[in-house]
Amino acid sequence: MTNAPEPNTRGPLFDPIFGGDNAADLSDHAWVAAMLEVEAALTCVAAKYGQVDPRHAEIVSAVAGDLAEPGAVDITALGAAAAAGGNPVIPLVTILRTAVARLGVPASAVHPGATSQDILDSALMLLTGRALVDVRASIGDAIDSSTRLARQHRGTLTAARTLGQQALPTTFGVVAAGWTEGLMRADDVLARAQSAVAVQFGGAAGTLAALHPHGLDIADALADELGLARQGIPWHTDRTRIAEIVGALGIAAGAIGKPALDITLLASTEVGEVGEDSPGGSSAMPHKRNPVAAITARAAVRRVPGLVATALASMEHEHQRAAGAWHAEWETLTEILRLVGGGTHRLAASLAGLQVQPEAMAHNLSITRGLLLAERVTSALSTHTDRAREIVTAACASGTALDSHPDVIRYLEPAAVRELLEPGRYLGHADDIVDRVLAAADTRPERH
């Protein structure tokens, strides 16, 4: 029985909003196809070590390929059948064995020496490896855009904000450079996590007894066949690999959420310092120009930390096969990959078309009438009196401009105070910070 091909989505209503339709294929069909890919590769590798007839291996590989086509396996029926054994590998192997039996292939040629966890873990690693490539591609796009913004706005003055309040002058180049730095570090962590994407093959209890003395060689050959890292030893109940991967994805989620939040805040009506090139509207308010790409990037990655916690809490696998903790990983990691993939895509879209408004930044710098530079005035005043901070604090609270407040100009000439209040003269190492990030971005390996 066949059914209609399944779209690459967990929910066709909401996935496009959160970028999930642009993430790597992590659908139920992708899961089934990955499990069949592992089964086919295992049979072919086993044939090289004399465990399966090579002619039978060719048939198993061909039939597995046919079954991996969209609609070839009734996923609804497979899921229902999986409930009895607690995983979908058991009924899927039955489907594959039944199909090849019609062509004269014995059941022993399918799933040789394997256990269900070998197939599921290896399939999950196939999906994870492909998804990480997709995630890193989108992060790379976001890095390119934030680097461009840092370079273009190296000298664009804006207000730095701490605890929601204007603090000191900075440049938008520094802001964008901060985004770039965080995204680059997240990408580096993801790159290291890719080395944890390894095959799983240990047999019924992790000793590969059914394939001795070729078990370890078959495991390595299976990894090579699938394009996964070699396992070293089976990791059925050592979930540090999963932890490395979800930890890296959690870091990526935070790195995505930071610029997405900044963009959302900077695009508010009262601030108006940035905007997206294709802002969203409102069903009720025609004037709204919502930074939807940044908003939905935030929405996607906000769900990630809880899922990461679930995966980390499931690391304790008892003895040689976990009862429940292993099962909790499948959908958890799949959803993390989908959300981070979607979030990176939406952030990349936001940054690619971000419209920066230097005039609004300049206006916002002026609304405190110089109080933004109170720290600098205090420093200059402290060379004349020990009451410098007390005087400037009172002057700021009075609402009187610092260059005309009597307690200030008693020690400093008004013209000198006005010079101290120039935002562009108190930027510290802003240019150096931007240049360091640009240099680091320029030396990153080229993306292909």
> Is 10 an annotated catalytic residue?
no
Residue 118 tokens read as 């070998």
HSE value, Cβ hemisphere, 13 Å, CA-based, for 282:
7
> Is 122 an annotated catalytic residue?
no
Nearest to 174 by CA among 152, 195, 190: 152
Residue 235 tokens read as 């990791």
Nearest to 122 by CA among 225, 22, 240: 225
**Terminal Cα distance for the chain, rounded:** 41
Which one from 195, 268, 278, 282 is the annotated catalytic residue? 282
Alpha-carbon distance of 371 to 393, in angstroms, equals 10
Q: Are 297 and 341 in contact (CB under 8 A)?
A: no
Q: Which residues contact 295 (CB under 8 A, 6 or more apart)?
A: 260, 264, 280
Give pairs for 394-400: CB < 8 Å, separation 24+.
396/371
Alpha-carbon distance of 26 to 124, in angstroms, equals 10
Which one from 321, 387, 418, 444 is the annotated catalytic residue? 321
Nearest to 199 by CA among 166, 160, 226: 226
How many CB atoms lie under 10 A from the CB of residue 10?
Answer: 18
Q: Which residues contact 91 (CB under 8 A, 6 or more apart)?
A: 78, 81, 82, 84, 85
User: Residues 238, 242, 246, 248: is their CA dihedral positive or negative?
Assistant: positive
- List active site positions: 282, 321
